[in-house]
Amino acid sequence: MSLDSPPPRTVRSFVRRQGRITVAQERALAELWPRFGVEASAGRLDLDALYERQAPRVLEIGFGDGGNLAALAEAHPENDYLGIEVHRPGVGRLLLQVGEKGLTNVRVMCTDAVEVLTAQIPDQALDAVLLFFPDPWHKTRHHKRRIVQPAFAELVRRKLKIGGCFHMATDWENYAAHMLDVMRSAPGFRNLSATGDFVPRPDYRVLTKFERRGHRLGHGVWDLMFTREA
């Protein structure tokens, strides 16, 4: 095993579900994946070659249906966006939006984000990492499966440029507290919250239908933003 190869993972933060995929999503996967899809491999990505330019780079982990990532890519054509999602229907949905909006600054991967960060993303290559509504693994015995752990925070730190931002959001208060505890203890990060805990939802994070429904039901949402200082 090479030094760049990730160690075998015994605990994963996701369960891969096939889910229902529509005809349109299948068509988008067939037609657009060759142009915008990136295969998992053991080698480092040449991001300048991948996007055919130099630009600020933003990674979104677990982008769901791709609504937030597509909106960001459309609003900020000066940035490049890489989305990683393990569920094919979500990947198909994002590719549909890429095609409909004529986006050229998006690339997509359908694999484990931790393995991609470890093996394929160069150090200090990213201007931002977005992690919105990851699986909360709410049962105590499953907390070890939460993606936000000290080792993951250190991995993200290495991949961010100095001054880069790690933005998280969750609708589980217990997970929000867990994220805050992990990030407060993570070396090389500074909390961007004026109160030392959570930040208001930035305008750039798309308010999803799921989140709107949660607001109507009185559910809370917690955003955390930490910048890499060292």
Close Cβ partners of 187 (under 8 Å, ≥ 6 residues apart)? 154, 157, 230
Amino acid sitting at position 85: E
Close Cβ partners of 219 (under 8 Å, ≥ 6 residues apart)? 171
Q: Indicate which residues carry an active-site annotation.
A: 135
CB 223 within 8 A of CB 68: no
Closest to 55 (Cα-Cα) out of 98, 106, 97, 102: 106
Rounded distance, CA 102 to CA 77, Å? 11
Rounded distance, CA 63 to CA 133, Å? 9
Question: What DSSP element (H or E) covers 166?
Answer: strand 160-170
CB 193 within 8 A of CB 199: yes
Rounded distance, CA 226 to CA 209, Å? 26
Closest to 132 (Cα-Cα) out of 56, 207, 61: 61
